[in-house]
A = this chain, B = another copy of it.
Amino acid sequence: MANAFVNEPGDVTARLSDYIVSVRWTDLPDDVRREALRSFVNIMGCTIGGACHEVVDLADRTLGVYAGAQHATVIGRGHQADALHACLINCLASSIYSYDDTHAEAVVHPAGPVATAALALAEQRPTSGADFLLALALGIEMTCRLSKAISVPPAKGPVAWSQTGITAGIGAAVAAAKLLKLDATRLQYAIGIALSQAAGFRVMHATMVSSLMPAQGAQTGLRAAVLAERGFTASLATLEGRYGFLEVFAESPNVAALADGLGERFEILRNTYKPYPCSIVIHPIIDACLQLRREHAIEPGSIDAVRIKASPGAMALCDRRNPQNELQAHISLYHWTAATLIHGVARIQQLQDATVRDAAVVAFQDKVSVVGDAGMAADAAEVTITLKDGRSFACRIDHCIGSAGNPMSDAQLTRKFDELAEPAIGATRTKELIDRCWSVELMTDIGDLARAAI
């Protein structure tokens, strides 16, 4: 029998699409709606805070040569551009400090690509705050579900993929498609078009490209949705078809993670916000260092040795000494141990080159030793500090701040927003913006918020 053309709607793609097309804001449980809002507040702070980063500046100036009509705001950079350029630059900004959000199980940073694609579109097509948050929630949901389908057991997928690069474009496409009110068939095309650009692997990490991958996801997702709206087609079985997404990216996919419990189980409830600008597997170590320093009034000069028991994830990703620059520092647990114990805080200043190359911070890393503990959860760590006078203090963190078991409070999210936004746009505008962000559900046109964040 001859082969079939792979153009029939597949069961899974169709189920996801039907759900996305039909669900309304008021269908979402209260906690899901609240988490959509918190995801938005967090990513807006990250975007404004990253807007003037030199890498974002470089990309905006270089690619601005090719940008089109000024329909969307390049946030925190004082100008507008076409929506595809704006969402690329905005998402790059949201990701550049590695300070955004994380779905730990799926190893993905979902909100940046989804929010920036939806926001750039919303400036062209007036959108209420509630519609925007619904699109954001759905985009995050799909990004996380696709990521889990190729990485969470029983799925076996290569760790080498950069999950955000692979699945964030789908989240962006889904959010944009929801705002465009595409029907289920066009939504399936949008998913297919976006997946044709699913890309990224981990050799890129700790380079500028690390943040370009989610940014490209935002752009290709938005592009996929507008192409689908106008009639551009793709396979209708991109996820489950022969030679499709599941087959390509996973040795044995976790199909249940993709579509089971739609509308009942929400991945956004497991999305978390970073309290420190670095890989989340370093966070429990930072928590322990801060706690020890504070409780025992430890002066950095008095420290003889720091011994760390770290999770397997921390060992695999961040057991790296002597980063040479900010981008490498994102994934060096030695740097963060040194900088945190010396400075007593773990913020953007501790990430920047001046700190990374500071002789005292560099030298301090020699005092730090780390061993992996196979039983240690990703949000846990144990740190023991021995002083030169022989005293020794230990601290075990079971659920670091910002993890799913110990989430950041709204007040902490506001302080993080302030930390990020104030240096960029000043205290007055920051206060105005954070108030508008927290009440975004009530806005009739969220484009006003984007334009206020110019």
Interface residues of A (CB under 8 A from B): 2-7, 55, 58-59, 61-63, 65-69, 82-85, 158-161, 165, 192-193, 195-209, 212-213, 216, 220, 223, 226-227, 229-235, 237-238, 241-245, 247-248, 316, 319-321, 323-324, 328, 334
Closest to A328 in B: B5
What would 15 A/B residue contacts be, using CB atoms closer than 8 Å?
A6-B203, A7-B328, A63-B84, A63-B223, A66-B84, A68-B68, A160-B243, A196-B199, A197-B200, A198-B199, A201-B245, A203-B244, A204-B238, A209-B233, A209-B234
Q: Which residues of B contact A204 (CB under 8 A)?
A: 192, 196, 234-235, 238
A235/B248 in contact, CB under 8 A: no
A213/B232 in contact, CB under 8 A: no
Q: Which residues of B contact A233 (CB under 8 A)?
A: 207-209
The smallest beta-carbon distance between A281 and chain B, in angstroms, is: 13
* Bound complex: CA A248 to CA B157 (Å): 11
Q: Which residues of B contact A7 (CB under 8 A)?
A: 206-207, 324, 328
A66/B68 in contact, CB under 8 A: yes
The smallest beta-carbon distance between A306 and chain B, in angstroms, is: 14
A247/B160 in contact, CB under 8 A: yes
| Contact of A232 with B58 at beta-carbon distance under 8 Å, contacts A5-B323, A321-B2 already known | yes
Task: Please tell me which one of the listed residues B58, B82, B232, B237 contacts residue A59 in the complex, with CB atoms under 8 A apart.
Answer: B232
The smallest beta-carbon distance between A13 and chain B, in angstroms, is: 10
* Bound complex: CA A205 to CA B202 (Å): 27
Task: Please tell me which one of the listed residues B84, B244, B319 contacts residue A201 in the complex, with CB atoms under 8 A apart.
Answer: B244
B208/A234 in contact, CB under 8 A: yes
Task: Please tell me which one of the listed residues B2, B4, B67, B242 contacts residue A82 in the complex, with CB atoms under 8 A apart.
Answer: B67
Task: Please tell me which one of the listed residues B62, B203, B220 contacts residue A243 in the complex, with CB atoms under 8 A apart.
Answer: B203
* Bound complex: CA A198 to CA B159 (Å): 17
Q: Which residues of B contact A83 (CB under 8 A)?
A: 66
The smallest beta-carbon distance between A68 and chain B, in angstroms, is: 4
* Bound complex: CA A406 to CA B55 (Å): 51
Q: Which residues of B contact A160 (CB under 8 A)?
A: 243-244, 247-248
The smallest beta-carbon distance between A394 and chain B, in angstroms, is: 22
A216/B201 in contact, CB under 8 A: no
The smallest beta-carbon distance between A93 and chain B, in angstroms, is: 15
| Contact of A213 with B199 at beta-carbon distance under 8 Å, contacts A5-B206, A68-B67, A247-B160 already known | no
Q: Which residues of B contact A195 (CB under 8 A)?
A: 201
Q: Which residues of B contact A245 (CB under 8 A)?
A: 201, 203
